[in-house]
Amino acid sequence: MRLITELSAWRCFADEQRGLGRRVGLVATMGALHAGHASLIQAAKDHGDVVLATLFVNPRQFHDGADLAAYPRNLPGDLATARASGVDCLVTPTLAEMWPSYPAPTPTTVSVHGLDEVLEGAGRPGHFDGVASVVAKILAVTGPCRAYFGEKDFQQLAIVRQMIHDLAFDVDLVGCPIVRDVDGLALSSRNVLLGADARRRALALNRSLRAVESRRASASEHRATLARILGEADLDVAYAEVVDPVTFAPCADGDDGEARAMVAARVDGVRLIDNAPVTLVGREG
């Protein structure tokens, strides 16, 4: 596995691979790698890509300094996981390389309006501007590639997809299924911050989604089920919503067809998100 820290070497590596007729598969991460990240790497390898993974904790997507400071970091473990997963090149750029003016604001910001104003965007002001800006830079340095993102961050996936479309990046975006632990909790780098009791209560996120995923109901009935199960676990719920999977507009009771259930909550101060597809039927359906 090749290790790179400089943007110039990163760009050269990707150009060299394309020059040899190989497709670059990009997996962008903030480290604290787990089996969910490994699944993205494996998806790239299954497509026959040369896997380029990035590891950068992006401060611009944290509006809370304490949250940034608490974000898990484990570079030795990440190196071992990346090697074992078959990463061909791991890029660990410095903050000075990525955002030279930090902590002063970077003059250029990428925003995806509309999608960035609801759910995670409503509760974390500026979060998706930071996400879109760093992903845009990662894609610009990498160049033409196939990029792999997980569906656990379903809203992030939609924002990146819209940005790629609007800015005409030469990138094929691949959304990959959520990976869960044996107890059903969606894998997340933040899970290591959960104590035993917090983790037990956090399972209500997945439990609420399984309850709505398994039945056809109206939007309000699905919302009520989500709220009831999350409330029984005494979670600090940020949202429990049923939305259009493309526009993220809240679904109404007259809507039929496929939608997405989106949940987020703090469990002993640790923010967790999850989602699942649901089927809607109007009240008269």
List the catalytic residues: 37
Dig out the tokens for 15 from the structure: 């150009």
Residues linked to residue 243 through DSSP beta bridges, in sequence order: 250, 260
Name the helix (H) or strand (E) containing 198. helix 196-213
**Bond preceding residue 76 cis, omega within 30 of 0:** no
Dig out the tokens for 274 from the structure: 């999850």
Helix and strand numbers, DSSP H then E, in the chain: 10, 10
100 CB neighbour count, 10 Å cutoff = 10
- Triad 163, 68, 107: Cα angle to 5°: 45
